[in-house]
Structure 1
Amino acid sequence: MSAGEAAKEYAAGFVAGVATVIVGHPFDTVKVKLQAYNTNTQVKEYKNAWQCTSQILRTEGVRGLYRGASSSFIGMAFESSLLFGLYSQTKKFLQGEAPSSHPQLQVIIPSAAYGGAIISLILCPAELVKCRMQVQGKESSGSMYARYSGPSDCALKTLKSEGLKGIFRGGYTTLLRESIGNATFFTTYEFTVLPLDVAKTVIQTAPDTSSSRNPFQTLRSIYRRVGFRGFYTGLGPTLVRAFPANATAMVTWELTAKLLGVQRP
Structure 2
Amino acid sequence: MRMTPQQREGRLLLAPLVAFLLVFLSFPALVDIVYSLSDVTFQTMRAPEIVGLRNFGAVLADPEFWAACWFSLRFGVLTAVIECALGLGLAIFLSPIVSRHGWTMAILMLPMMVAPSMVGLMYRLVLHEFAGPLPYYMTLWFGTSPAFLDANNAFWTLVVVEVLQWTPFAFLLFHVAYISIPSEIREAAAMDRAKVWKILWRIELPMMRATIAIALGIRFIDGFRVFDNVFALTGAGAGGSTMSLSIYIYHSFFKGGQIGAAVAASALLFFASLAVLYGAAILKTHLERRRIAA
Same fold (TM over 0.5): no
User: Which is higher, the Rg of structure 1 or of structure 2?
Assistant: 2
TM-score when normalising by structure 1 = 0.32
